[in-house]
Amino acid sequence: MDIHHKVVAVLHVVFAAITLLVIAALTLFFGVLTALFPSTEFPLAIFAAFGAALAVPFVLVAVAELVAGAAFLAGRQGARPWLIGMGALQLLNLPFGTALGIYTLWALMRTEQPVVQIVCTPTSLSRS
């Protein structure tokens, strides 16, 4: 496994974990806000339900990204195309997700070139 492959997998795991933490913090914040102010003019329960419904797809994508990165690190066979798909999906997430998506696509879709080593040795030129 190339060093770039390992870095991509670790970055996807870290990015997914951060996404899950942010979603959990926002859900907790709006849940507490709804509990603290139950009777206001603006129905916060509707706002919290809308936020929870909006968070579900993000949680599913983050969990899929976490599993893909962990599976790729573990050397699973089907994790590479899954991680390429997650990288393509991250292109829409500005600005850090775009950088991660570009790096993922570059690292996982490039062809491995054999390393050619040219060795120059001094030759002795003798005149007779």
List, for residues 35-80, the tens digit of each pLDDT value: 887 776 777 777 778 888 999 999 999 999 999 999 999 999 899 9
Q: Where are the domains of the chain?
A: 3-109
Question: What percentage of the chain exceeds 90 in pLDDT?
Answer: 60
Return the number of other C-beta atoms located less than 10 Å from residue 55's C-beta: 17
Return the number of other C-beta atoms located less than 10 Å from residue 86's C-beta: 27
Separation of alpha carbons 76 and 5, rounded Å: 13
